[in-house]
Amino acid sequence: MNSILALEIVIVISTLSILSYKLRILDLYGTLLAASIGVTVYTTVGRVGIFLLTVFVVVAGLFTKLGYDRKSLVGAAEPRKGLRGWRNVMGNGLVAAAAAVAYALLPQHSEVILGGYIGAIAAVFADTMATEVGLLDKRYPILIIGFRRVKPGTPGGVSLLGYMGALFSALILIASYLSLGGSNPLALNVVGLSVIAASLIGTTVDSIVGQLLQGLYQCEACGRITELRTHCGGVAKLIRGYRLLDNHVVNIICSASGAVVGAVVTLVFYSTV
């Protein structure tokens, strides 16, 4: 790595870290972990990788704060005014970071791995947007399996508005990739198909796993159903699913499904463009 690129990485990652912390998108530990992932991505995938990752973090953070008071009233808002910690960063960024490392270690498969990297980001971006936009819907969501109406924020609950949010995130990611112009390593039509497929499939996988396997709890004090292990200052009772499968683990599964979709789409279509 030359000194100019090293200086660029330090300046960009430092600036993004300060903004994420000051704008209360990430807390201190979340910012530190995000910076570590950012450096990994920047030194492996390069400017394309860090730009797409930044778009996800910024846009998702803004939409988390959009209509926050209304989301709080229905009991489904992200805790701490939308301030995300290291567990959120790990759940959303672990697969992308792994893909970035693989991109550097396996240059003979760089196109396919890049497709997987983009797919991983597309999936968690779409899932976050589906949740945050879907919570603005005045109608209650329905379970993806069984189609029963449930309270907003229930794992497995989906809505048309939420899926529109997922598609909107895909369009944002595609436009961001297009804006990079000549530095694009993959054709736009391959990336566009990868992003849309990974967004919709990743969001759906997240909902299915969330409904069937994610741990769901009931607060012993107030009786509220929650995906949090603790509530009202005490340990909540597990009523469904598995303790090990919390929202962050489900996000990793969502991201991994998006990575697989992105890699497969790139593998199938890259050689034909």
* pLDDT per residue as tens digits for the range 98-121: 999 999 999 999 999 999 999 999
The domain tally of the chain equals 1
Which sign does the torsion angle of CA 230, 234, 238, 243 carry?
positive
Instruction: Determine the Cα–Cα distance for residues 201 and 253; give it in Å rounded to an integer.
Output: 11
Single-letter residue type at 18: I
Query: What is the percentage of the chain residues whose pLDDT exceeds 90?
Result: 67
pLDDT-derived band at 144 (thresholds 50, 70, 90) equals very high
Exposure string of 231-245, with b = 16+ CB inside 10 Å and e = fewer, is beeeebeeeebeeeb
Angstrom CA distances, 5 to 9, 12, 44, 119, 182, stand at 6, 10, 12, 26, 19
* pLDDT per residue as tens digits for the range 146-195: 999 998 888 899 999 999 999 999 999 999 999 987 666 888 899 999 99
Instruction: Determine the Cα–Cα distance for residues 173 and 6; give it in Å rounded to an integer.
Output: 26
pLDDT-derived band at 65 (thresholds 50, 70, 90) equals confident
- The pLDDT value recorded for residue 183 is 65
Closest residue by Cα to residue 111 from 263, 260, 256: 263
- The pLDDT value recorded for residue 1 is 67
pLDDT score of 273 more than 60: no
The whole domain housing 117 covers 3-272
